Chains A and B, each alone.
Chain A
Amino acid sequence: MTPKISLLAAAWLVLKKDWQIEWRTRARLTAIIFFSLSTLLLFSFAMGPDVTTLRAHAPGYLWLALLFASVLSLGESFRIESENQALTGLVLTPVEPRAIFVGKVFGNASLLFVLSLVLLPVTVALYDVDLSRDPLRLVLVLFLGSVGISAPGTVYSAISANARARDVMLPLLLFPVLMPLLLAAVSATKFTLQPDPQEQVDSWLKLLTAFDLIYLSVGFLLFPKVAEED
């Protein structure tokens, strides 16, 4: 009898496998870094030279750059799973589909989180924001936001991976679902970069955590239906 490994151990293997592939090619990280740098640059040019306006809108533009980059990243994440039907191979190995979900979510989230850290100094340069106000909370917001984008993103990229118009379908499915999370992430980021006289940042952080838990739970329940053919 083949010994069965736990869900968490299998999820960790899926995550490590994604990191291995990324490390070997570095294609996805390179692409999303350059894409989001261009996005931030274009937004700053579009806003003009007024520093006050730039500072006020920096959190929103940072999250939009991350959101747009996530579409590229998530699409690529499931392209490697559809090539040679690797996802089917995993399921038949057998790997519990929920372990695949957890591994892929945190694989995608880790990449987005690294991207967000890379974008921070660029945001300082282009939008003149002050990172020293509450850096720990800022990093926490970026991490929670990355997980929040990746959880539904993983489900939808699995759904759209074999669709004919997958490049169009993923953002169409994903963006409406992410609107509340985006609002919470932008607001929480704003209050870590700008004065927060009413101490709202913790409320937004709690909301962000709640969205993450909801998205993770729904994805955890739905993913087996998505990963297996009928």
Chain B
Amino acid sequence: MSEQLAVEAVDISKRFGARWALARLSFGLPLGRSLLLTGHNGSGKTTLLRLIATASFPTAGTLRVLGHDARTGRDQLRPFVALVSHASFHYEDLSAAQNLSLSAKFLGRGGEPKLVAELLERMGLSERADSPVRQFSAGMRKRLAIARLLMKAPRVALLDEPFGELDPAGIKQMEGIIRELQGQGTSVVLATHLVEQGLSLTNERLHLEAGRKVAPS
């Protein structure tokens, strides 16, 4: 069964010090389907996305992503999972082009300069390609993070508040990118407070309160 699931969580919990960020959470997301994560601030959405991305690991329970255990199979998983998070993962003193180029080289992508130029063009960052990220606005950083996700062509895309900091044109473009990823068979897990927008882009919904799955009110 797990081979057909993009994400399978069985009783997963995550503790930070004395606080449980996630408590005995279970759900399954079939491959190619998309999930909307909703909940108030601090409800555990970002923690769950980080667990699926293997940036962190469950304190208890079993989490399988693309059929691999998130902890023991992380080396096999990571090439196929991409996360756009509140933290942009960029080097502030490198330019947008250098940041993308570095990712392309680590990913072993051929034709790297052309790919980087295409992605920067697509995200509207061509004119600032050689500017250090330190000089970028929050929206430009988000666009660069999305470019990095596209470069990876993931099978599971994790988007934490992807519309935040984007202008209306950027939001529209982001919606297009999510639909394009879904069209390629990528499972998208989307965490957002814009529930209506999120529902229009996803097939399933998981609402969290204090780290637990609850029915949305």
| Residues of chain A at the chain B interface (Cβ within 8 Å) | 1-5, 10, 13, 17, 20-21, 24-25, 80, 83-86, 88-95, 229-230
Q: In the complex the two chains form, what is the Cα distance from A92 to B107 in whole Å?
A: 11
Contact, CB under 8 Å: B93 / A21 = yes
Interface string of B84-112 (1 = CB under 8 A from A): 01011111111000100011011111000
Contact, CB under 8 Å: B103 / A93 = yes
Q: In the complex the two chains form, what is the Cα distance from A10 to B107 in whole Å?
A: 10
In the complex, the number of residue pairs spanning A and B with C-beta atoms less than 8 Å apart equals 81
B78, B88, B91, B94: which contacts A92 (Cβ < 8 A)? B78
Give the residue among B54, B93, B109 with the most A Cβ atoms within 10 A. Answer: B93
A2, A21, A88, A230: which contacts B89 (Cβ < 8 A)? A88
Chain A residues in 8 Å Cβ range of B35: none
Chain B residues in 8 Å Cβ range of A1: 79
Q: Which size class do B's interface residues fall under?
A: 20 to 34
Contact, CB under 8 Å: A94 / B79 = yes
Chain A residues in 8 Å Cβ range of B88: 84, 89
Known interface pairs A2-B79, A20-B98. Does A88 touch B87 (Cβ–Cβ under 8 Å)? yes
Contact, CB under 8 Å: B93 / A25 = yes
Known interface pairs A85-B87, A89-B89. Does A229 touch B56 (Cβ–Cβ under 8 Å)? yes
Q: Does chain A have a CB within 8 A of B118?
A: no
Residue ID in chain A nearest B82 by CB atoms: A92
Contact, CB under 8 Å: A17 / B94 = yes
A2, A5, A91: which contacts B105 (Cβ < 8 A)? A5
A9 to chain B minimum Cβ distance, whole angstroms, is 8
Q: In the complex the two chains form, what is the Cα distance from A1 to B88 in whole Å?
A: 25
Contact, CB under 8 Å: A84 / B92 = yes
Give the residue among B53, B75, B89, B92 with the most A Cβ atoms within 10 A. Answer: B89
Contact, CB under 8 Å: B89 / A17 = no
Contact, CB under 8 Å: A93 / B94 = no
Chain A residues in 8 Å Cβ range of B107: 2-3, 93
Chain B residues in 8 Å Cβ range of A230: 56-57
| The 6 nearest A-B residue pairs measured at CB | A89-B89, A94-B78, A3-B108, A85-B87, A2-B79, A229-B56
Q: In the complex the two chains form, what is the Cα distance from A91 to B91 in whole Å?
A: 14
Known interface pairs A20-B98, A94-B78. Does A80 touch B91 (Cβ–Cβ under 8 Å)? yes
Q: In the complex the two chains form, what is the Cα distance from A230 to B91 in whole Å?
A: 23
Q: In the complex the two chains form, what is the Cα distance from A18 to B132 in whole Å?
A: 15
Chain A residues in 8 Å Cβ range of B194: none
Residue ID in chain B nearest A89 by CB atoms: B89
Chain A residues in 8 Å Cβ range of B55: 88, 91-92, 229
Contact, CB under 8 Å: A24 / B90 = no
Q: Does chain A have a CB within 8 A of B116?
A: no
